[in-house]
Amino acid sequence: MTKRMNYNLVGGLAAAVLVWLDQWTKGLAVTHLKGQEPFVLWEGVFELNYLENRGAAFGMFQGQKVMFLLCTVLILGLVVFYYQRLPEGRRFYPIRLVGILLVAGAIGNLIDRTVNSYVVDFFYFKLIDFPVFNVADCYVTVGAALLAVLILFYYKEEELGFFSLRRKEAEDEREKEL
């Protein structure tokens, strides 16, 4: 088995486990929170509050199921495309994790939108009146934040050549500079 195949297998399994965890928590929310008063974990700060979100983040674009499905498939395609282009080696493990988190979050919410026409949300930070969210949303948010930190502070510009669609030309240029 090649290293790339191993990365893909481990990444796919990790994403599958994360999707399962997301769906399991949403199932618990449906079973224990739907139709109930919010379950207060910390008075005035944090509670579990069942919500069926037919929109995107913060409830935007309500009822736009087809648009969400198309955007999700496009985003999944881009993440998988760039995941395949990642160089091998430990240095790129953090950005592989980003890809896994983004894929798991997108698939977790895609399952909800496809099956239910809404996403089950249940985490609510009452203290700051933050929009209700779920585990898949956490994956996407953490993944996006980690990607920003990695690009800004961890990787050097020349290490990010895999983002270029002109991969071969970028590699040739790098070789000429050396």
Positions marked catalytic? 121, 137
Q: How far apart are CA 146 and CA 101, in angstroms?
A: 10
Burial class (CB in 10 A: 0-12, 13-18, 19+), 77: exposed
> What order of strands is seen across the sheet that includes strand 119-125?
39-42, 46-53, 119-125
Location of structure tokens 């969210």? 133
Q: What is the DSSP string of 17-81?
A: HHHHHHHHHHHHHHHHTTTS--EEEETTTEEEEEEEE-SSGGG-STT-HHHHHHHHHHHHHHHHH
